[in-house]
A and B are shown apart, each in its own frame.
Chain A
Amino acid sequence: MSNEFKHVPHISKRFKKSFESLDKEMKHRTVEKLEELLKGYISGEPLRGEYKGFKRIRIGKYRLIYSNSEPCKMYLYDIRPRETAYI
Chain B
Amino acid sequence: MNTQVVLTPPPTPSPSQALSGVLTGSPLYTTFLELLRPWIERVVNDPRVAEVVAQELLGNTEFLYLLTMLSQDMVLRVSEDELRNAYKVLHTKFREFDIDIEDSIEIVVEHDLWKLRQIKENFSSFTSMYIDFATKNSGDAYRYVTILVALMVLLIASIEVRSHEKLELLASEIKRLADELELYTLTFMLVFEKDKEENKVITTVRNLEELKRVLGVE
Interface stretch among B42-50, B118-126, B159-167, B205-213?
B205-213
Per the CB 8 Å criterion, the residue count for chain B at the interface is: 46
- Interface contact B207-A56, CB-CB below 8 Å: no
Residue from the list B105, B110, B208 in contact with A3, Cβ < 8 A: B208
- Interface contact A82-B207, CB-CB below 8 Å: no
Tell whether A4 is near chain B: CB-to-CB under 8 Å: yes
- Interface contact A31-B212, CB-CB below 8 Å: yes
Residue from the list B107, B137, B199 in contact with A49, Cβ < 8 A: B137
Per the CB 8 Å criterion, the residue count for chain A at the interface is: 40
- Interface contact A50-B137, CB-CB below 8 Å: yes
Residue of B nearest to A73 (CB): B204
- Interface contact B202-A47, CB-CB below 8 Å: no
A40-74 CB mask vs B (1 if < 8 Å, else 0) is 00000111111100101000010101000000000
Q: Tell me whether chain A's interface is mostly helix, strand or loop, or mixed.
A: mixed
Cα(A50)–Cα(B198), bound, Å: 20
Residue of B nearest to A44 (CB): B183
In the complex, number of A-B residue pairs with CB atoms less than 8 Å apart? 124
Cα(A3)–Cα(B215), bound, Å: 16
Residue from the list B106, B114, B183 in contact with A87, Cβ < 8 A: B106
- Interface contact A4-B207, CB-CB below 8 Å: yes
Residue from the list A8, A9, A48, A83 in contact with B187, Cβ < 8 A: A48
Interface stretch among B29-37, B58-66, B149-157, B189-197?
B189-197
Cα(A31)–Cα(B218), bound, Å: 11
Q: How far is the CB of B203 from chain A (nearest CB, A)?
A: 5
- Interface contact B186-A83, CB-CB below 8 Å: no
- Interface contact A19-B187, CB-CB below 8 Å: no
Residue from the list B184, B206, B207, B214 in contact with A11, Cβ < 8 A: B214
A14-44 CB mask vs B (1 if < 8 Å, else 0) is 1011011000000110010011001000000
Residue from the list A9, A49, A56 in contact with B205, Cβ < 8 A: A9
Q: How far is the CB of B138 from chain A (nearest CB, A)?
A: 10
User: Shortest 7 CB-CB distances between A and B: which pairs?
Assistant: A14-B198, A49-B137, A47-B187, A10-B201, A3-B208, A48-B187, A3-B207
Residues of A within 8 A of B (CB): 3-5, 8-14, 16-17, 19-20, 27-28, 31, 34-35, 38, 45-51, 54, 56, 61, 63, 65, 75, 77, 80, 82-84, 86-87
Q: List 16 A-B contacts (CB under 8 A).
A: A4-B206, A4-B207, A8-B206, A28-B217, A34-B211, A47-B190, A49-B140, A50-B136, A50-B137, A51-B191, A56-B182, A61-B103, A63-B186, A83-B106, A87-B84, A87-B88
